[in-house]
Amino acid sequence: MTQTFRFATLQLKRRLPPSVVSTAEAALFEASFDSSKISFPPEAVIKPRKEADIGVVLALANRHRVPVTVRGRGTTLMGSAAPVRGGWVIDMLALNRIAIDAQAGMAHVQCGAKVGDLQRAAEAEGWFYPPDPSSKEYCTIGGNIACNAGGMHGGKYGVTRDFVLALRGFLASGDYVEWGTATKKFSAGFNLRDLWIGSEGMLGVVTGAVLKLIPLPPARWTLLTSFRDETAALRSALELFRRRVQPAICEFLDRESVVCAERAARTTVFPGQAGRPLILIELAGGAAEVREQKALVLGWAKEHATAFRAARNRTEAEALWAVRRKCSGAMFELGDSKLNEDIVVPMRSYLKFIRFLAALKRRSGLPIPTFGHIADGNLHVNIMYHRANPGEMRAAEAAVNELMRTVVDLGGAISGEHGIGLAKSPFLRVQHRAAQVKAMRAVKDALDPRGILNPGKMFEPVRIWKYPKLAIHLPWDHK
């Protein structure tokens, strides 16, 4: 196999400029892992200078059955960008053009563009691109499309899928294709645009996109609230939504998350109320609109919260945000390893889920700090354990299995914004019936008959927590 790959790599070097294809040890190592930190060295790394290079790579890969794994910055925690079958890695970072069409309210981007850069380019023209994964200062729009990334604005504004108008790129065969046009309506033929979104590089390679923007909300207002316990917090949030208030952001932190953050910051959020669950609310919109909603939210906070504090300006808002930003990194005081599960629960199941979570913490004996996007039910459940402790490892594995089954029983999803990759592959069949998995595989075979695109992912159950992890610190790691 490796022999064939080497032959194909030689051919590739002949077809593309020398600076585009690298087989240097350091380059291969860099491309061998993503944020899951499990390393699978490839045969070659390709850094295309122009989108057409990718057609050349794929045509050759398809002919010689070379696995191709596409990567942006590699911030995914799911192992989706790890070249588990070797072969070639295409690194998209050099394809990073961004152009804002200020009149139409659209962004024309290449897949290697950074999400943070896109947001700033849009804002400079009075437009807003809402999807904002916490890694937005590192991750690329191509990666966001691959896993249908979400972020904190999902409840009100939607996720990546809701902002993609058109995609261009290449089929496994190397053929160039365009799905959709730079228009808000398109109803001409099967919707392969959306099939590509969230397909984790397994059905085609995206090289560019046209994204929808919305008018930049001129006003924002931030409020931090605390509650007696998790049930009170979630019950209160539901009451807020019942009043038809749609915060731009609505972040929940359970007691364990707050305790971690407060310990790391050496302060308590609300004096005398250490370790209470929090909800952080941000309204966004026109000045008048925000004023209207603010009155509703303050009325609600007076009725329901044990304490609350509003920010009078952006500096104070940043101070309120500090606790949310701290919690994820601070959790590593509770264990050296984390299973970070971005599950989703429908609103009707919030209270049932929070009771289940309390019981799971008790039964497993593990800390499971949980926080996340309460306007869309996308919670980050962090199962903390020590890798060297076999008892904790078993407890963590049992807990994640129970979590996934329960989430699906409650009508929810095993992933809201990370995708499947390697890490969630053991749970694909918890979410999907056999007929559904069969249909997905049929689509995969139809669009990638030789199975070259990101092989080894999604369908083949891999217990990622059993693999040795690289002991490295990545720029976007918390703390």
Exactly one of 93, 298, 398, 413 binds its own copies (CB under 8 A); that residue is 413
Torsion of CA 180, 80, 419, 468, to 10 degrees: -170
Please give the structure tokens belonging to residue 282: 């941000």
Return the number of the residue (114 or 193) whose C-beta is nearest its own copies: 193
Interatomic CA distance for residues 317 and 250, integer angstroms: 14
Q: Which helix (H) or strand (E) holds 159?
A: none
For 56, other C-beta atoms within 10 Å of its C-beta total 17
Nearest to 53 by CA among 81, 19, 15: 15
Environment class of 17 (CB within 10 Å of its CB; exposed 0-12, middle 13-18, buried 19+): exposed
Output 17 or 411, the one with its CB closest to its own copies: 411
When binding is defined by CB under 8 A, the residue of 412, 426, 455, 456 that contacts its own copies is 412
Residue 175 binding its own copies, by CB under 8 A: yes
Interacting residues with its own copies between 433 and 452 (CB under 8 A): 433, 435-440, 442-447
Q: Print burial letters for 104-119: b (CB count within 10 Å at least 16), e (below 16).
A: bbbbbbbbbbbbebbb
Stretch that binds its own copies, among 112-120, 237-245, 256-264, 300-308 (CB under 8 A): 237-245
Between 54 and 171, name the residue whose CB sits nearer to its own copies. Answer: 171
> Residue 192, interface with its own copies (CB under 8 A)?
yes
Q: Which residues contact 323 (CB under 8 A, 6 or more apart)?
A: 224, 253, 258, 261, 262, 265, 269, 278, 280
Q: Provide the β-strand partners of residue 343.
A: 379
Q: Which of 458, 462, 464, 465 binds its own copies (CB under 8 A)?
A: 458
Cα of first residue to Cα of last residue in the chain, in angstroms, is 41
Least separation in angstroms between CB 208 and its own copies: 14
Pairing verdict, β 249-253 and 205-212: unpaired
Interaxial angle between packed helices 52-64 and 2-15, expressed in degrees from 0 to 180 and rounded to the nearest 10: 150
Nearer to its own copies, 85 or 418 (CB): 418
Which residue has 């890490």 as its token pair?
423
Which residue's CB is nearer to its own copies, number 177 or number 474? 177
Q: Which is nearer to its own copies, 69 or 76 (CB)?
A: 76
Q: What's at 186, amino acid-wise?
A: F
Site string for its own copies, 206-225 (x = CB under 8 A): --------xxx---------
Complex with its own copies: residue 87 or 169, whichever CB lies closer: 169
How many residues sit close enough to its own copies to count as binding (CB under 8 A)? 100
Q: Which of residues 295-324 bind its own copies (CB under 8 A)?
A: none
Closer Cβ to its own copies, 67 or 419, answer by number: 419
* CA-based nearest residue to 334, from 370, 367, 380: 367
Minimum distance from CB of 279 to its own copies (Å)?
16
Instruction: Give the one residue of 18, 189, 271, 272 binding its own copies; rule: CB under 8 A.
Output: 189
Among the listed residues 287, 295, 359, 470, the single contact to its own copies using CB under 8 A: 287
- Positions 333 through 372 that interact with its own copies (CB under 8 A): 342, 344-348
Give, as ranges, the residues between 104 and 133 that touch its own copies (CB under 8 A): 104-105, 126-127
Q: Do the Cβ atoms of 405 and 383 come closer than 8 Å?
A: no
